[in-house]
Amino acid sequence: MPNGLRSAHRGWELANVQRLAVIGAGAKAAAICAKAACIRDETRLPIEVTVFERHRPGANWTGDHGYSDGAQRLCTPAERDIGFPYDPASYGDAVSRAMYSRYSWLAYKASSGSYGDWVDRGRPRPGHNEFANYLDACIRASGYPIVQGEVVGLTPTGSKWSIGVNEPSARRVHGEFDGVVATGPGPAAPKFDVAPGAVVYDSVDFWNRLEDARTACLGQPDEPVVIVGSGGTAAATASWLVRADVPNEIIILGGQPALFARTDSFFENRAFRDPDIWATLSEAHRLAFSDRLTRGAVWANVVDDLSRSDRVFYRPGTVSAARVADSGGTYVEYATSATPTAVSQEAVIVVDASGFDLAWFADLLPPALCRQVRDDIGAMRSGMDASTALPLAGAPKLHAPMLSQLISPSFASLIALGDMSDAILLPYIEALMA
Ligand SMILES: Cc1cc2nc3c(=O)[nH]c(=O)nc-3n(C[C@H](O)[C@H](O)[C@H](O)COP(=O)(O)OP(=O)(O)OC[C@H]3O[C@@H](n4cnc5c(N)ncnc54)[C@H](O)[C@@H]3O)c2cc1C
């Protein structure tokens, strides 16, 4: 249908407006706003997007709100920007050209006068802070509104959603949305017991307390730092400690045998993006692919950086608890897959980088809907439709791209934000053209 978009929408003026809400002004919001704006501008289909953001656009990438120090670089190349892969088969040539000329990373660099410099410097991956500014610029350029405030409630009212928001001045309810997209990694999700007094940072607040962490390390240089996890967050934490020149040994404790590297290989990249390949895979095979190459992998450039430090070591083990020793120090207990007896490892600080609560938005829903999501995440994933809408009985469309590993391995990351936005917008475009 999409290539016929321009001719097929004759008479659209009579169609209802379709209104989509996006919770979080991050990478996914930027991709959805930009694509919807191009469709709106090129075809005049009346699609409206409202973005809700508790801090500022791109907040999680700035270093001011956890998740990052803002200075780290993206692991993925800049060209995997909010429109990648600019597939004209989705909504036609005009939309794809408009996306590229207005919202691509190259257009952003050219309009800020830094394109030549960026090429001269070997096209470096953007720093998180600069990426935040790019996302901000894209959302604003789309012309869609950003409501400043924290979303605290999602309520179905007939076939529409109402959204409760704590805005700076008051709590307000915004209504009549045909669909809602929940974005963002969510808060840190603790995976082991932490005794009172144990010095454990989670993977959000570590980045808010970097100086505390550094001072603690310098105060006890002979005690190792323990990082729990084996994915990108654990590696980014280790990378920061190396760059901050802490003298301590850094032990990464993860459930896998090693830190696995994700390389920029054609065959892997193709499997990420080719729906025909994806359609040939069983659910188990899809999950295995996503686990191995997204959650369980670290980009090779980051692995290379860590390998160059003689203070960083990886140890396989599953942590069950962080406790306080009689001496007052912190230690973790962990077991290996070969020897389930718990082993202790002392640490000056522990950073729990084992993951986030990707279903965080469930807590915004009324209790019965919240239970549908929380009680059976597996069923939510298996029953998700191609637009990443959850199979929620009695609710309008609620898209959860962060849980969409079975639909596509690339919708939860920055790998193909253009494909992700195409998939989410399709049911609304189809409704306008019906
Ligand atoms: C530090 C970090 C680095 C990453 N680097 C890469 C990478 O290099 N390549 C890659 O492919 N993937 C990367 N990922 C993984 C993944 O791509 C991102 O987590 C995800 O795609 C970000 O897009 P998003 O729009 O879902 O969320 P974000 O860009 O994180 O935006 C979420 C937004 O939601 C807002 N928000 C949250 N809750 C509420 C609420 N209740 N009300 C209002 N606003 C709210 C937040 O303030 C935030 O601005 C990284 C993840 C992290 C955490």
CA dihedral 219, 221, 226, 231 (to 10 degrees): 100
CA 6 to chain CA centroid, nearest Å:
32
Specify the DSSP element, H or E, that contains 134.
helix 128-142
* More reliable by pLDDT, 293 or 417: 417
d(CA 2, CA 88): 9
- Reference 29, options 180, 160, 172, 130; nearest CA is 180
d(CA 262, CA 301): 9
pLDDT at 395 over 60: yes
Inter-residue contact 251 to 306 (CB < 8 Å): no
Inter-residue contact 324 to 330 (CB < 8 Å): yes
pLDDT at 4 over 50: no
pLDDT at 3 over 80: no
- Reference 42, options 2, 80, 82, 81; nearest CA is 2
Q: What is the pLDDT of residue 15?
A: 58
**How far away, in angstroms, is 184 Cα from ligand 1 center?**
4
* Torsion sign, CA atoms 274, 277, 283, 285: negative
- Residue 14: which pLDDT band, with cuts at 50, 70 and 90? very low
**How far away, in angstroms, is 183 Cα from ligand 1 center?**
7
Average pLDDT over residues 377-395: 96
Testing ligand 1's pocket by substitution, the residue of 35, 52, 54 carrying the most ligand atoms inside 8 A of its CB is 54
Average pLDDT over residues 109-125: 97
Ligand 1 nearest-atom number relative to CA 360: 38
* Residues within 6 Å of ligand 1 by CB: 23-29, 52-55, 59-60, 67-68, 74-76, 150-151, 183-185, 402, 413-415
239-274 pLDDT, tens digit each:
999 999 999 999 999 999 999 999 889 999 999 999
CB atoms closer than 10 angstroms to residue 312: 21
DSSP state letters, 303-334: HHHHHT-TTEEEEE-EEEEEEE-TTS-EEEEE
Weakest-pLDDT range from 14-23, 192-201, 280-289, 368-377: 14-23
CATH of domain 2-186+357-433: 3.50.50.60
What is the SS3 assignment for 29? helix
Phi, psi for residue 262 in degrees, rounded to 5? -105, 120
Q: What is the pLDDT of residue 263?
A: 87
CA 352 to chain CA centroid, nearest Å:
18
- Nearest-CA residue for ligand 1 atom 46 is 24
Q: Which two tokens stand for residue 264?
A: 């920029």
Average pLDDT over residues 214-223: 96
Weakest-pLDDT range from 183-197, 227-241, 293-307: 293-307
**Rounded (5°) CA angle 99-104-110:** 125
All CATH 3.50.50.60 domain ranges in the chain, comma separated: 2-186+357-433, 193-352
Alpha carbon separation from 256 to 155, 250, 259, 297 (Å, rounded): 40, 17, 7, 10
pLDDT at 13 over 70: no
Average pLDDT over residues 167-173: 96
- Nearest-CA residue for ligand 1 atom 14 is 413
Q: Parallel, antiparallel, or unpaired for β 343-347 and 330-335?
A: antiparallel
Q: What is the pLDDT of residue 264?
A: 86
300-327 pLDDT, tens digit each:
989 998 999 999 999 999 999 999 999 9
**How far away, in angstroms, is 22 Cα from ligand 1 center?**
13
For the chain, how big is the Rg over CA atoms in Å? Answer: 22
Residue 281 burial (10 A CB sphere; 0-12, 13-18, 19+): middle
CATH of domain 193-352: 3.50.50.60
- Residue 106: which pLDDT band, with cuts at 50, 70 and 90? very high
HSE (side-chain half, CA atoms, 13 Å) at 245: 0
- Nearest-CA residue for ligand 1 atom 21 is 413
Average pLDDT over residues 347-371: 97
CA end-to-end distance (rounded Å), the chain = 11
Q: What is the pLDDT of residue 1?
A: 44
Q: What is the pLDDT of residue 291?
A: 86
Q: What is the pLDDT of residue 301?
A: 86
